[in-house]
Structure 1
Amino acid sequence: MTTSSYSSSFGRLQAISINFLSKEFIDSLVKAEDVGEVSRLLESTWYGPEIDRAAAMYSPPELLEVAINRHLVEVNKIALEATPFSGKQAIRAYFSKWDIHNIELILSSKVIGRTITETEPFLVSSRNFPAGITAGNIPHDEMKIILSQPTVEGVVNQLVKYKYGPILIQNLDTYQKTSDISPMMTELLSFYYTNLLESIKFFQGDEGIARDLFRTQIDKKNILTLLKGKDSKLERDLVKKHLIEEGKIPIEKLLEIFSANSVEDFVTRIEEFIKFGDLLDNYVKSQNLVDFEVAIDKYINRYYVKKLKNIALSIGPIFYFIITAEFEWDNIKRIAYGKRYNLTPERISSMLVLE
C-alpha cells in the first residue's frame, strides 16, 4: 500500500497545531487591561520569541503588531515547508495575498502622507522571510525600498520588476486624475484570485471545498464593497468597477442587491445566497461593517474551513492550518483594537472568530 505524499505534512501540522491559542486563553486576552497586558500574556505562547525580538525596537501597541505579523510569516513558512511538491504552487499562490496586503498598505500610506516609521510595523513580513515565502514574491528588504519611495508613482515604478507592477501601471492614470488607489487594488485582487483558483483546479478531486472557500472570500470582498458604496451613496456603475469576478454570487445579482432600500432588505436578499442564520444579528443592530465582516468570517469558518480539516491526506488540512493561523492573527488584532478604543469585553468577544 502506497503512502500519500501528504501524510507527513498532515502529521507535522497536526503536532504544531497544539500551539494555537485556546478559547480560554483568548478569553484572558479579552479581559486584559490594555494592549500592553495582551502582549505580556502572549509572551508565554508561541508568539513569545517574536515579542522578545520586537521589544528591542518597539513598544505597545506597535510591538504587538510587529510581533504577530512576523509570527504569521514564520507559521506560513512552516506550512509551505510541510507541503509536498504537488501542492506548493497552490500554497504559494495563496500566500501572495500578503504581498497585495503590503502593497495596499504602502500605497495608502503615500496617499495620506504617513511616514515610513508609521507604516512599517503594519507590513506582514519578516527580515528572515518575504511575506510570500520564497514564492517569487517581495522580500522584506525590498519592501523597505518600496516603502521609502516618496510617491505612489515611485512605488508603482519600483514594483515594475514584479508581476504586480504592470497591473498597477494600467491604472496609474486613473489614480493621477482621482487620487483613488482602489481601481489599482481591485485589479490586483482580481489577478490574485484568478491565479489562486487556477492553481487549485487539479488535485485529487478533493479541492472543491477550498475553491468554494476562496470564491466565498471574493463574495465577502464584493458584499463589503456594496455596503460601503451604499453607505457613501455611490452610483451603481461606479461600484460595479470595484467588484471582482469568479465569486459564487454573480456580479449582476450583486448589483440587484445593491438596489436594496434598507439594511434589512439588503440582508434578506443576501441570504438567498449565503445562509447567515443569526450571524448577522450584531450588524443589523449596529450597521457597523466590522460586524458584517465578522459574520462572513464566521460563516466561512463554519461551512468551509472546518471541513478542510477533515479531508485528510490532501491539501485541505494545510489550508486549514494556514487559515486557522490567520483567524488567530485577526482575533489578536481585533482584541488590540478593542483595547485601544475602550470597547467592553463583551463587544470585543462578539468580533472574534473562534472554533
Structure 2
Amino acid sequence: MPTSQYASSFGRLQAISLNLLSKEQMQNLMKAKDETEMIKTLGSTWYQPEIEKAASLFKESELLEVALNRHLVYINKIALEATPFNGKSAVRAYLSKWDIYNIELILSAKSMGRPISETESFLVSSRNVPAGISAGNISHDEMKIILSQTGVDGVVNQLVKYNYGPILMQHLETYQKTGDLGPMMSALQTFYYHNLFESLKFFQGDEGLIRDYIRAEIDKKNVLSILKAKESNLDKDLVAKHIIEGGKMTKNELLDVYNAKDVPEIVGRIENRFMLVNALAQYKKSNSLIDFEVALDKFINSEYVKKLKNIALSIGTIFYFIINTEHERENIKRIAYGKRYNLSADYINSLLLIE
C-alpha cells in the first residue's frame, strides 16, 4: 500500500488548505454591501491573482465569476499534480465534471441563441489550462472554437472528436424535433458518472466512501429534477428521460415518488432519506427550490464529505481538498447571489456550507 505517496499529498494539500477563507473572512464577505465590495475583500486573499488578471476585461458579477472559475482551475491543477500516479485516473474522471459543465452551458446558450460574449466568461477555464482540467481533453482555445459554432448541431458536430460527441449525436434528432436538451444533458451526466465509478474500483480498498458520496450526489440531482418537474407539472414519461442512474434511489423508486400530487408530498415520501422538512418550511415562504438544494448539500457534506478527512493517507485526502474548494466557490457565489437580490443576511447565511 503506497501510503508514503499519499502522505506527501496530504502534507502538500494541508499546507495549501491554509489559504481557504476563514469564517471571519467569509463573514466579511457577508458584510460587503455589493459584489464590487466583495471583490475588493477577496483581493487580499488567494483569489487576488485571478481578480487582477480579469479586472481589465470584466466588471462586477462577470469579474467575480471569471476569477472564481479560473481560481478553481488553478487549484484543481495543483490537486491533480499532488495525486500519486495510481490515483490520477480517478481524480481526472472526477474533474471532467467541468468539461460536462462547459458543454451544457454552451448547448444551453446555443439553444437560446445567446452570443459568445454572454457565455465565454462563465466557462470554467483559463488560458493555457485545460478547460475541463481532466487530462487536457478540451483546451481553452478549442472551447472558443466550439462556442463559435452555429447552433446546437454545430456544437455537437465539433465535439465528435471527443468522447462526448458520439453520446450527444444519439440524441440530436430528438432535440431537432422537440427542442428539448434534456436527453442530451442526461446522457452526458450518465456517461460522466459511469466513467467515474469505473475509475474508482477498489485498487487500494478505501474508495467506498467516495463512491457513496457520488451516489448521494446523483440522488441530489435526481431529487431536484423531480421537484422542479413537479412544480412545472411535467409528464412522467418526460421526467423519466431526465433521471440519472447510479444513485442509491433507483429510477423506479424516483418515478414512484413522482406520482405524489405536489412538492410537499414528494418531500414527505423521501424524508426518511434526506430530512428535508426544514427546507420545506422555508420553501413555503420563498417558493424557491434552492432551499432544497442547500439542504441536500448540507446533508451530503455531513454524511460523506466530512468523513473523507478521516482517511487521510488515501485518495480521500485529494477528494476532501477538491470538494472543500468547490464548497468555498459555491459559498461565495451564494453570497453574491444574495447581494444581487437584496436577500437578508440571515437567509444568505442559511445558504452557506460552512463546517
TM-score, L = length of structure 1: 0.97
Name the stretch that deviates more: 130-139 or 64-73.
Answer: 130-139
Q: Which aligned pairs between 1:145-224 and structure 2 lie closer than 5 A? A: 145-224=145-224
Whichever residue aligns with residue 12 of structure 1, its letter is: R
**CA–CA separation in structure 1 for the residues paired with 2:59 and 2:279:** 36
CA distance in structure 2 between the aligned counterparts of 1:136 and 1:76, rounded to whole angstroms = 12
Shift of 1:246: 0.8
Distance in 1 of aligned mates of 2:290 and 2:130:
29
Aligned counterpart, 2:235: 235
Report if the CA contact (8 A) 2:80-2:88 is conserved: yes
Give distance in 2, aligned partners of 1:183 and 1:64: 31
Q: Is contact 2:216-2:247 (8 Å) kept?
A: yes
Kept in 2, the 8 Å contact 1:95–1:131? The answer is no
1:71 aligns with 2:71: yes
Question: What is aligned with 2:110?
Answer: 110
- Distance (Å, rounded) in 2 between the aligned partners of 1:106 and 1:134: 18
| TM alignment of 1:261-276, pairs within 5 A | 261-276=261-276
Using the TM superposition, give the Cα deviation of residue 97 of structure 1 relative to its aligned residue in structure 2, in angstroms: 0.4
Gaps of 5+ in 2: none
CA contact (8 A) 1:13 1:321 kept: yes
Instruction: Mark the runs of 5 or more structure 1 residues left unpaired by the alignment.
Output: none
Residue type at the aligned position of 2:14: Q
Number of paired residues? 355
Contact 1:263 / 1:284 at 8 angstroms: preserved in 2?
no
Residue of structure 2 in register with 1:39 after alignment: 39
Amino acid at match of 1:290: I
**Most deviating of 155-164 and 251-260:** 251-260
Offset of 1:341 from its aligned partner?
1.5
What is the CA deviation profile of residues 65-119 of structure 1, one whole-angstrom value per residue up to 9, with x for unaligned ones?
Answer: 1001000000000000000000000000001100010001111111111111111
**1: CA distance between counterparts of 2:195 and 2:273?**
24
Question: Which segment drifts farther, 338-347 or 50-59?
Answer: 338-347
Distance in 2 (CA, whole Å) between partners of 1:212 and 1:177 is 37
Q: Distance in 1 between matches of 2:149 and 2:305?
A: 38
Superposition map of 1:1-355 within 5 A: 3-276=3-276, 278=278, 281-355=281-355
Change (3 A) 1:226 1:301: same
- TM superposition shift of 1:279: 5.4
Contact 1:131 1:138 in 2 (8 A): yes
TM superposition shift of 1:128: 2.3
Moved more, 164-173 or 174-183: 174-183
CA contact (8 A) 2:230 2:263 kept: no
* TM-score for both structures, normalised by structure 2: 0.97
CA distance in 2, matches of 1:97, 1:134: 9
Q: Deviations over 1:129-169 (max 9, x none)?
A: 11332514211110011011121111111101000000010
Name the SS of the counterpart of 2:215 in structure 1. helix
**1:25-52 CA-partner distances (Å, limit 9, x unpaired):** 1111112111100000000000000000
Distance (Å, rounded) in 2 between the aligned partners of 1:197 and 1:277: 31
Q: CA deviation at 1:4?
A: 2.6
Closer, same or farther in 2 for the Cα pair 1:295/1:107, shift >3 Å? same
Distance 1:147 1:3 in 2: 43
Question: What is the alpha-carbon root mean square deviation over aligned residues?
Answer: 1.5
Tell me the amino acid that sits aligned with residue 333 of structure 2. K
Q: Secondary structure at the match of 2:133?
A: coil
Counting aligned pairs with the same residue, the percent is: 65
Distance, in Å, in 1 between the alignment partners of 2:337 and 2:264 is: 28
